[in-house]
Chains A and B, each alone.
Chain A
Amino acid sequence: MIPRRLKERLIKSMFFGIAAFSILIIFFIFVFLFYEAYPAIREFGSELFTSTSWNVRREEFGLLPAIYGSVFVTIGALLVSVPLGIGAAVYLSEIAPNKVRMVLKPVIELLAGIPSIVYGFVGAVILGRYLSNTFNLRGIHSFLAAMIILGIMALPIIVSMADDAMKSVPRDLKDASLALGATRWQTIRRVTIPSAISGISSGVIMGMGRAIGETMAVMLIVGGVMKLPVPFYNAFDTGNTLTALIAVQMGEAHGIIINVLFTAGVMLFVVVAATSIISDILQKRTKDRFEGKT
């Protein structure tokens, strides 16, 4: 029989070990990525990030179109998924009768379980074709189709997290608002949403992470051409993203191009890490506000 004190300490150090181990893994991934990316950065310098010309045979590796494409597609996806997602979450948590909620919530969460290749296929064949016919585009590929599909893919996480956040706002607060003569809508807008803003914003950031990191679907829809859209805000044009670039090129890559692709990987890693840090800061800020430290 182990003494209780010792047991507590063993359990504590075990959990510390697990936490330390996962941090270590992340650290090693970063070191490895950077190690593999370094030769390309040494060889091409800042041109890697500022040049728009990509030609493997001539060893021109300008990543800018893919960087821009990733940003562009993510912004577009958020424009689709944030209003829809928060709207759906408000409906689910505050308005829908229990029966409707019990059907809708699992359905929305099911959207997250659909393999991304299916989204890609639907996006390219159905949505892409539809957009192409409607707007007279040259092919079925476009940023717009990618934005819409990515927006839908980011929906479940946003809806689910925003719904949880709003559901967890104490009944007391909603009652207080109603008892002061506020309507249901005023209560949602002025009390429920502001009180749940930390959960909602971390949902949005998670959705953003999903949009940035999504590969398969984007690869099939966005076109895979290494060029900037013309003009730069033209969502009907085609282009590429960092993820799609890596996925397409990695198979037959050899030599320095592997290092270039790793550079793209480093960028994705840094951006995703940054979103999660921003989400943390946001959460902490609202938490401080709740605890009255402003």
Chain B
Amino acid sequence: MLAKIKEVLKEDKKCERKELPKDIKMRVEDFDLWYDKNQALKSVNLDILKNEITAIIGPSGCGKSTLLRSLNRMNDTIPSARTEGEIWLEGYNIYDGNTDCVDIRRKIGMVFQKPNPFPFSIENNVFYGCEVNDMDVDKEETVERCLKDAALWEEVQDRLDENALSLSGGQQQRLCIARALATEPDVLLMDEPASALDPIATAKIEDLIDDLKKNYTVVIVTHSMQQAARVSDYTAYMYLGELIEFDETEQIFENPEKESTEKYITGRFG
């Protein structure tokens, strides 16, 4: 009897699985999202390729941030949000009832639009994710590696114990990137990471994103056409909650299939 119960429990614990093609890191499948009665995502289908940079573009309010936040289940923190459909991370459905959000978010890091460092020291900011996840890693080493990866090490190596809020906006944003790298995620989601930064800091972050590609899969939301064209390999264009077009970035910018896409990227929108 007991064995049977155990078996049932075990069965239940198993996440929904399916095989995805090797080069696909995440797959969004017929995904809908509502805020109360307002539908913000309408049957979105999208493949995110491994070790490539995918840009999401589209006019304000079209659901870019909502889609991005769906990818690591951050929309769970919004009580009015309700979803339908699936999002697969490698073989697993992250919207399966048994999926552990905490686990998902460790594998899928996120950088927010506004730099949001904790009011702690620089090193404690970087190490926070490792600490809450009980990761068995060396603090000094991790902090140094992540800050180097985020191109911030040179500027802060002598002041690791200083409060992170004493950094400039651009430095804070790079710190947030370093912080997201520390848990060794597979995927990095970035919501307009450079929107609050000057051109120099923006250039640094764009270089950085390009470097990250080697080890991570990156999804970036941006309002800047140029930025999307510069950094991304694939581009998704969204409009009013729908994914209108998705293709290689070159294709989208040089020869878009849909009229709406063309209007948007040539700035003749509205």
| Chain A residues close to B by CB (< 8 Å) | 97-98, 170, 172-183, 186, 190-191, 194-195, 289-294
Listed by A's residue number, 22 A-B pairs whose Cβ atoms lie within 8 Å are: A173-B116, A176-B118, A176-B179, A177-B118, A177-B128, A179-B72, A179-B74, A179-B105, A179-B109, A179-B180, A180-B133, A180-B180, A181-B183, A182-B102, A186-B132, A190-B132, A290-B119, A291-B165, A292-B165, A292-B167, A293-B166, A294-B163
Q: Which residue of A lies closest to B129 (CB)?
A: A180
Q: List, in ascending order, chain B residues with CB within 8 A of A181's CB.
A: 102-103, 105-106, 129, 132-133, 183
- Judge whether B264 is part of the interface by a CB distance below 8 angstroms: no
Whether B183 contacts A180 by the Cβ 8 Å rule is: yes
- Judge whether B146 is part of the interface by a CB distance below 8 angstroms: no
Provided the pairs A180-B128, A186-B132, A289-B119 are in contact, do residues A172 and B112 lie with their beta carbons within 8 angstroms? Answer: yes
| Interchain CB contact (< 8 A) of B118 among A173, A178, A179 | A173
Q: Which residue of B lies closest to A183 (CB)?
A: B102
Q: List, in ascending order, chain A residues with CB within 8 A of B132's CB.
A: 177, 180-183, 186, 190
Q: Which residue of B lies closest to A174 (CB)?
A: B77
Whether A292 contacts B162 by the Cβ 8 Å rule is: yes
Q: How far is the CA of A92 from the CA of B207 in the complex (A)?
A: 44
| Interchain CB contact (< 8 A) of A179 among B110, B120, B131 | B110
Q: Which residue of A lies closest to B111 (CB)?
A: A179
Q: List, in ascending order, chain A residues with CB within 8 A of B131's CB.
A: 190
Q: List, in ascending order, chain B residues with CB within 8 A of A289's CB.
A: 119, 163
Q: How far is the CA of A182 from the CA of B74 in the complex (A)?
A: 12
Q: Which residue of A lies closest to B128 (CB)?
A: A180
Q: How far is the CA of A180 from the CA of B166 in the complex (A)?
A: 22
Q: List, in ascending order, chain A residues with CB within 8 A of B176's CB.
A: 176
Q: Which residue of A lies closest to B113 (CB)?
A: A172
Main secondary structure on chain A at its contact with chain B? Answer: helix
Q: List, in ascending order, chain B residues with CB within 8 A of A186's CB.
A: 132
B: interface residue count bin: 20 to 34
Provided the pairs A175-B74, A179-B74, A181-B106 are in contact, do residues A170 and B118 lie with their beta carbons within 8 angstroms? Answer: no
Q: A177-B128, A180-B106, A181-B102 are in contact. List 13 more A-B contacts (CB 8 A).
A: A97-B79, A172-B114, A172-B116, A177-B132, A179-B180, A180-B132, A180-B179, A181-B105, A181-B133, A183-B132, A190-B132, A291-B163, A292-B165
Chain A: minimal CB distance from B218 (Å): 15
| Chain B residues close to A by CB (< 8 Å) | 72, 74, 77, 79, 102-103, 105-106, 109-110, 112, 114, 116-120, 128-129, 131-133, 162-167, 176, 179-180, 183
Q: List, in ascending order, chain B residues with CB within 8 A of A175's CB.
A: 74, 77, 112, 116
Chain B: minimal CB distance from A93 (Å): 14
Chain B: minimal CB distance from A201 (Å): 15
| Interchain CB contact (< 8 A) of B163 among A173, A178, A190, A293 | A293
| Interchain CB contact (< 8 A) of B162 among A172, A182, A194, A294 | A294
Whether A292 contacts B112 by the Cβ 8 Å rule is: no
Q: How far is the CA of A97 from the CA of B79 in the complex (A)?
A: 9
Q: How far is the CA of A262 from the CA of B81 in the complex (A)?
A: 62
Chain B: minimal CB distance from A220 (Å): 45
Q: List, in ascending order, chain B residues with CB within 8 A of A174's CB.
A: 77
Q: Among A174, A181, A290, find the residue whose CB has the most chain B CB atoms closer than 10 A.
A: A181
Q: Which residue of A lies closest to B130 (CB)?
A: A180
| Among all A-B residue pairs, the 6 with the closest Cβ atoms | A292-B166, A181-B106, A292-B163, A180-B129, A172-B116, A182-B132
Q: Which residue of A lies closest to B110 (CB)?
A: A179
Q: List, in ascending order, chain A residues with CB within 8 A of B180's CB.
A: 179-180
Provided the pairs A178-B74, A179-B74, A180-B129 are in contact, do residues A290 and B165 lie with their beta carbons within 8 angstroms? Answer: yes
Q: Which residue of B lies closest to A182 (CB)?
A: B132
Q: How far is the CA of A9 from the CA of B214 in the complex (A)?
A: 62
Q: List, in ascending order, chain A residues with CB within 8 A of B120's CB.
A: 194
Q: Which residue of B lies closest to A189 (CB)?
A: B132
Chain A: minimal CB distance from B82 (Å): 16
Whether B116 contacts A178 by the Cβ 8 Å rule is: no
Q: How far is the CA of A172 from the CA of B112 in the complex (A)?
A: 8
Q: List, in ascending order, chain B residues with CB within 8 A of A170's CB.
A: 116
Q: How far is the CA of A175 from the CA of B165 in the complex (A)?
A: 17
Whether A191 contacts B110 by the Cβ 8 Å rule is: no
Q: How far is the CA of A182 from the CA of B166 in the complex (A)?
A: 24
Q: Which residue of B lies closest to A169 (CB)?
A: B119
Whether A190 contacts B128 by the Cβ 8 Å rule is: yes
Q: How far is the CA of A191 from the CA of B167 in the complex (A)?
A: 19
Chain B: minimal CB distance from A282 (Å): 15
Q: Which residue of A lies closest to B161 (CB)?
A: A294
Q: How far is the CA of A176 from the CA of B106 in the complex (A)?
A: 12
Q: List, in ascending order, chain B residues with CB within 8 A of A191's CB.
A: 118
Q: How far is the CA of A195 from the CA of B176 in the complex (A)?
A: 17
Q: How far is the CA of A43 from the CA of B163 in the complex (A)?
A: 55
Q: Which residue of B lies closest to A197 (CB)?
A: B119
Chain B: minimal CB distance from A235 (Å): 39
Q: Among A98, A178, A190, find the residue whose CB has the most chain B CB atoms closer than 10 A.
A: A178
Q: How far is the CA of A180 from the CA of B101 in the complex (A)?
A: 11
Q: How far is the CA of A194 from the CA of B128 in the complex (A)?
A: 14
